[in-house]
């Protein structure tokens, strides 16, 4: 379906004269981003319908206050006896974020092990891949673009979906270590040798690695936060 839409968009763009190749790419790219955002909207509402609870519909409205199904969600909230949640407008392609906020998101993603290939406030292919991986590990639709709620989640440093308690402070402690990708891969190898499967040795600390770290911490009487201290890094990298 995506291919059909993009093919139609490309053909329509070529009929507009004069159109430069870059303009065509911008048109098609914009349509693709719009389609992905609509799919994210549709998936979020379907999830709310499956749960059919007050909190589920309010969660949808926080992400998509002006979404395709916002009126239906507000109706369900009222029928369930609640007040429609208010929230920030989804940023979609992060158009409403300042350059400083974009750079901060890149820094936080990199600190969590999702390399953005630079911290420049520009969401290029490297950042899009990092966002998609971050979304994957939190069971969000892998669009590579952030909703308002997701941007806030990263900027606030929350750690939903991560193991252990007190993970936010622990994440900041690990981030301060400024581990390189090679160091992260060495840590993953150390965990694997000790019998804690990280689901790959690639230098990216996704959910598999976080769960492995938490399991190793529990086995060694540490607080199972899923994030490492300098002492724990030293232990895992020692042979």
CB atoms within 10 A of CB 166: 12
The whole-number pLDDT of residue 88 equals: 39
Distance between CA 213 and CA 136 in Å, rounded? 19
CA distances from 204 to 15, 90, 111 (A): 44, 27, 10
The predicted structure's pLDDT at residue 19: 45
Question: Can you give the C-alpha Rg of the chain in angstroms?
Answer: 21
pLDDT, position 27: 52
Task: Tell me if 163 sits within 8 A of 227, measured CB to CB.
Answer: no
What are the average pLDDT values for consecutive 10-residue runs of the chain, which has 239 residues? 51 48 53 74 88 82 78 76 47 63 86 81 88 81 84 68 51 83 93 92 89 89 86 88
Which single residue is written with the structure tokens 């060495």? 186
Whole-number pLDDT of residue 197: 92
**How many Å apart are CA 108 and CA 99, to the nearest integer?**
14
And the tokens for 150?
Answer: 């997701």
The 3-state DSSP class for residue 15 equals coil
pLDDT at res. 188: 95
Q: What residues does 146 pair with on adjacent strands?
A: 93
């Amino acid at each position: 379906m995506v291919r059909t839409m993009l093919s139609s968009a490309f053909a329509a763009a070529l009929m507009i004269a004069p159109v430069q190749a870059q303009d065509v790419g911008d048109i098609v790219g914009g349509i693709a981003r719009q389609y992905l955002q609509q799919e994210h909207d549709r998936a979020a509402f379907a999830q709310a319908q499956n749960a059919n609870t007050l909190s589920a519909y309010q969660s949808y409205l926080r992400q998509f206050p002006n979404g395709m199904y916002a009126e239906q969600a507000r109706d369900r909230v009222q029928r369930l006896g609640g007040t429609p949640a208010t929230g920030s407008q989804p940023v979609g392609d992060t158009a409403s974020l300042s350059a400083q906020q974009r750079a901060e998101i890149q820094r936080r993603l990199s600190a969590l092990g999702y390399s953005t290939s630079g911290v420049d406030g520009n969401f290029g292919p490297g950042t899009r891949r990092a966002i998609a991986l971050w979304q994957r590990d939190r069971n969000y639709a892998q669009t590579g673009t952030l909703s308002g709620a997701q941007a806030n989640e990263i900027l606030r440093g929350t750690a939903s979906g991560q193991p252990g308690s007190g993970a936010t402070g622990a994440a900041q402690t690990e981030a301060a270590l400024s581990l390189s990708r090679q160091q992260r891969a060495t840590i993953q190898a150390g965990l694997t040798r000790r019998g804690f499967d990280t689901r790959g040795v690639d230098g990216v600390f996704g959910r598999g690695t976080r769960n492995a770290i938490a399991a190793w911490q529990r086995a060694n009487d540490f607080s199972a936060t899923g994030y490492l201290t300098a002492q724990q890094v030293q232990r895992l990298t020692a042979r």
